[in-house]
Amino acid sequence: MNLDGMLADLEELVVCESYSSDHDAVARSARVVAAMGTRMLDAKPETAVIGGVTHLRWTFGTPRVLLLGHHDTVWPIGSLRDHPWSVSGGIARGPGVFDMKAGLVQLFHALASLPSPDGVAVLIVGDEELGSPTSRPLIEESAAACEAAFVLEASADGGALKTARKGVSRYELVVHGRAAHAGLEPELGANAGVELAHQVLAIAGIADVVESSSRAGLVSVTPTLMSAGTSSNTVPAVGRVAIDVRVPDARAQARVDELMRALTPRTPGTRLELIGGPNRPPLDASASAGLFEVAGRIADDLGMGSLDGVSVGGGSDGNFTAGVGCPTLDGLGAVGGGAHAPGEHVVVAEMPVRARLVAALTSHVLSGERAR
């Protein structure tokens, strides 16, 4: 693996900003990624635009291995001004460098190093940071017939692989009330803001109920973005809150959903509207156990030393591949840290090392040694 070439490719991806919510930016990024993959793999991808979002897929023969990643980032357009691309002291920095543009570079270089890509599918989606609302069918379709999915998401601390992930649910609760003048006749209103406060407290207590009733443990139900009202002298007619849910297993995910749908209003004249539901199923450790064992042996053979595997709270598209029964190993991408934050960075010396690991894992499955 040529580190200088990998860094040149990484710079090309990072300086092409790809904020998930900006479809034009994601389309520009897809063109850059497609050109890079075409150059390295000597094949053009299938381009799928779904709901305005651009995804890329390469298919070589009958796929048995899926290499999976995303090219969108959480960084708004213009973030390069404050967080420019740089490489200094063996550290690369820039928006999306760790999550997960370095992983894409490693993916292409790993696959290009094999004698043939036959038996491999590559899927790079454009909306992972939004929960993959348009790409989920592509992911599940691509993974369903494969013997292994390798997810080039960034590693956990110290380069650890991600052997389990929590399931993710996303909701928005909308409170509908009735507006009135706050000074002249507040009694004629139905205060959606007051009702929202009641509901936020109720929602915040759901995790305790699920943990105590099912012994699930490690459940989080977190009210996040919230708003109510239109002016300071008007009884709020509408309030809303977003809720982020993380669960360790499918039973806990279903129980949280049941409790969310059982919420009832306490303020007369208000009503509740619940939007959303389970987004990503949990990635259970059993889905990665066999592949993680193989990765450990390969790492020893490559002189990488021992590999750690950890369970993490964040979801990825690996949740979907595991959910359709495809053995999945996640966190094979960059080593570094600071995802979604100003300190986002990649340890550049690890890039060729991780690419060799992915190449060897892919070769292992293609050789016929299954890891179920």
Told to judge if 128 belongs to the known catalytic residues of this protein, a careful annotator would answer yes
- What token pair was written down for 14? 């990072």
Told to judge if 147 belongs to the known catalytic residues of this protein, a careful annotator would answer no
Give residues with Cβ within 8 angstroms of 306, minimum separation 6.
296, 299, 300
Residue for token pair 């490719």 = 9
- What token pair was written down for 364? 């292992």
How many CB atoms neighbour CB 61 within 10 A?
12
Give residues with Cβ within 8 angstroms of 355, minimum separation 6.
1, 6, 106, 107, 109, 110, 113
Q: Residue 23: which of 46, 52, 56, 55 has the closest Cα?
A: 52
CB 55 within 8 A of CB 132: no
Would you call 62 exposed, middle or buried from its count of C-beta atoms within 10 A (0-12, 13-18, 19+)? exposed
* Cα(240)–Cα(273) distance, integer angstroms: 9
Residue for token pair 């069918």 = 137
Neighbour order of strands in the sheet with 167-176: 220-228, 238-247, 167-176, 271-280
* Cα(194)–Cα(265) distance, integer angstroms: 10
- Of 11, 72, 249, 344, catalytic: 72
Strands 161-165 and 336-337: unpaired
Give residues with Cβ within 8 angstroms of 2, minimum separation 6.
109, 352
Would you call 224 exposed, middle or buried from its count of C-beta atoms within 10 A (0-12, 13-18, 19+)? exposed
- Of 9, 11, 128, 344, catalytic: 128
Residues forming the active site: 72, 128
